Chains A and B, each alone.
Chain A
Amino acid sequence: MIFFSILTNFLYKFFIIFIVLICIIFCASMLSIVERKFLAYFQNRIGPNRVGWNGWLQLLADGIKILFKEDWIPPFSDQYIFCIAPLISFLTLLFVLFTIPIKKNFFIVDLNIGILFFFMMTSISVYGILLAGWSSQNKYSLLGAIRASAQMLSYEIFLGLSTMGVIAQSGSFNLIKIINSQKIIWNVIPQFFGFITFFIAILAICHRHPFDQPESEQELSDGYHIEYSGMKFGMFFIGEYISMITGASMITILFFGGGNGPIFPEYVWFILKTFFCILFFILCRASLPRPKYIHVMKFSWRICLPLTLLNLFFTAFFILYFKK
């Protein structure tokens, strides 16, 4: 009897994980159409409008095309690493999504070190790009990988520090506790500089414009995934959107109070806030030009790092002064 209950429990959890996984991957691939549509609206175009209802079935056409494309592994490449690299960049930030509480009692894993896990996974996700660029034996992809690592050196330093103010206020790394600490006021207002720096870091993690040096299409003609085709390229492609969803949901949890909000249920608020964050990502892509990677490094070391340190210093001061 006990065995049976354990089995059903296990099956139930497995089912939930499966459903969530399918939902996330579907949303991530759907996001490519959403992004194309919104980019078109920002640039006074129409965007894809041929397949399905006003272009919303474009995903199907793209999926069929990418599935049946020849999956070519270049003979001059380091084949083992070449195959593993897209997996790394696809899976790392997908794992982070499992720790994110959409409702207060709906999550797959409740980690006490939620934010630390996120940092760890973002650090590992760089390896996907690095190995992809290195193993495909191509000058362009190697340059892209070098740029990715240079960008990592610029954003990692203030990524952790920018969230330290939030963690100090809530007193925990646990994401649910952080959400609960924002019931009175969202963290955007007291931690405004933390929010801005974290937002910039998230843009850099997702390799979104304006921080898309690794895959700058104009100079490197796709950067690290230039040699990839078929489903391996698709994994990089969807992995980027998954990292976008992860980043946006981290922003909502840390700075916009997660699912907190009036009238609507929690998950509606969560999805709305995440969606608006993603929209802002797309707006940034549509409007801002790409800086050189030297400029990114200068900006992050000279401006963002002191800003986050000052932010952390003042939060610590206020916490010590008022909570005594």
Chain B
Amino acid sequence: MFIKIFFLQIYSQIRSLYLIFCNIFQASETRLYPEESLKLSSRYRGRIVLTRTKTGEERCVACGLCAAVCPVSCISLQKTEDKTGRWRSEFFRINFSRCIFCGLCEEACPTLAIQLIPDVELGDYEYKNLIYEKKDLLISGTGKYDDYDYYSFSGVTLKKTKIKKFFHKKKNVDIKSLLP
């Protein structure tokens, strides 16, 4: 029995030597990143952006949920109100030198304004350059969710009628949808 185990062990050593040697003929798994471009999926959590609706309105209503949920408190914002009663952010600031890209702000956002996009190349020489203001964060597109508009789905009304009529064309609320 001892001899059998001994020879089996020797066989396993030689087998592992052979298997490792076979690796020399295989292509390497390493991706040479700066030379090769990154191929990240669209769900990858990178830089944070603020998106707009299809009509070009800002989605953000400055509810402050993102700032509340942020574990490193890198988001700071101030609310203001329009004449129509619509909430907006007076300033919206994200400190990317503190951000850990957890994506909790994206989950918390009721209007789908704040979104994380697969852009990870944020390196900079100064901390000051990593504090992004609202003009740096706002993009002109809709981001990942094309159709969503908070005011048309949720039933929150604005005071002045013009916008109210425009948004409340759809009377029947889709009760099966999970969206707010």
Contacts and interface: CB of A to CB of B under 8 A. Distances in A.
Contacts of B19: 287
Nearest to B32: A46
- For chain A, the bracket of interface size reads 10 to 19
Nearest to B13: A288
Given A40-B28, A44-B28, A44-B29, A288 B23 contact: no
B22 to A, nearest CB: 9
B30 A45 contact: yes
Interface string B166-178: 0000000000000
A49 B32 CA distance: 10
A43 B6 CA distance: 27
A41 interface: yes
Interface string A26-63: 00000000000010111111100100000000000000
B125 interface: no
A25 interface: no
B5 interface: no
A20 interface: no
B16 interface: yes
Which of B16, B26, B30 counts the most A-chain CB atoms under 10 A from its CB?
A: B30
B20 A283 contact: yes
B29 A283 contact: no
Contacts of B24: 38, 41-42
Which of A41, A49, A287, A303 counts the most B-chain CB atoms under 10 A from its CB?
A: A287
Interface residues of B, number: 15
A287 B16 contact: yes
A287 B17 contact: yes
Contacts of B26: 44
Contacts of A286: 20
Contacts of B27: 44
Contact of A42 (B6, B21, B30, B32): B21
The prevalent SS among residues of B at the interface is helix
Which of B13, B24, B26 counts the most A-chain CB atoms under 10 A from its CB?
A: B24
B28 A287 contact: no
Contacts of B32: 46, 49
Contacts of A288: 13, 16-17
Contacts of A40: 28
B30 A46 contact: yes
A41 B22 CA distance: 10
A268 interface: no
Interface in A275-303: 283-284, 286-288, 303
Contacts of B30: 44-46
Interface string B47-70: 000000000000000000000000
Nearest to A286: B20
A284 B29 contact: no
Contacts of A287: 16-17, 19-21
Nearest to B16: A287
A286 B24 CA distance: 11
Contacts of B13: 288
A283 B24 CA distance: 10
B20 A42 contact: yes
B31 to A, nearest CB: 10
Contacts of B23: 41-44
Contacts of B20: 42-43, 283, 286-287
Contacts of A284: 17
Given A41-B28, A287-B21, A288-B16, 12 more contacts: A38-B24, A42-B20, A42-B23, A42-B24, A43-B23, A44-B26, A45-B28, A45-B30, A284-B17, A286-B20, A287-B16, A287-B17
Interface of A: 38, 40-46, 49, 283-284, 286-288, 303
6 closest A-B pairs by CB: A287-B20, A46-B30, A287-B16, A44-B29, A41-B24, A46-B28
11 contacts: A42-B20, A42-B23, A46-B28, A46-B32, A283-B21, A284-B17, A286-B20, A287-B16, A287-B17, A287-B20, A303-B6
